[in-house]
Amino acid sequence: MDMRLGDIIDDFCVKCRRLTNHAIVSLLNGSAAKVRCRTCYSDHDYRNEQAPPSKKDLKKAALFNAVLSGVDPAAAAEADGEEAKKAAKKPGKRAEA
């Protein structure tokens, strides 16, 4: 679909914080570059209808990556091997946590 200036498209408005109708303000290589919200009239970059991640989600991802970077893959593989040996020695009993 060819986009033109002034066409109406849906996008996530950073000011309204919801998905609203937007008018195309500028084009780059045939696709929308900047849009104007038709509810609050604020201009922003076209976000492809994607809401930006919340600060809470970014903090969770950073903590998760910090924990993963501290885990030694070789030690984790050895621990899994030891648990498998314990389970093989004690058939019929639950593996202890």
Q: Do both 60 and 83 map to the same domain? A: yes
**Domain-embedded: residue 23:** yes
Q: Tell me which residue has tokens 């946590």.
A: 97
Number of structural domains in the chain: 2
Per residue in 41-92, pLDDT (tens digit) is 999 999 888 888 888 988 999 888 888 888 776 655 555 565 555 555 555 5
pLDDT for the residue numbered 19:
92
**Domain-embedded: residue 2:** no
Q: How far apart are CA 68 and CA 56, in angstroms?
A: 18
Contact 3, 31 (CB under 8 A): yes
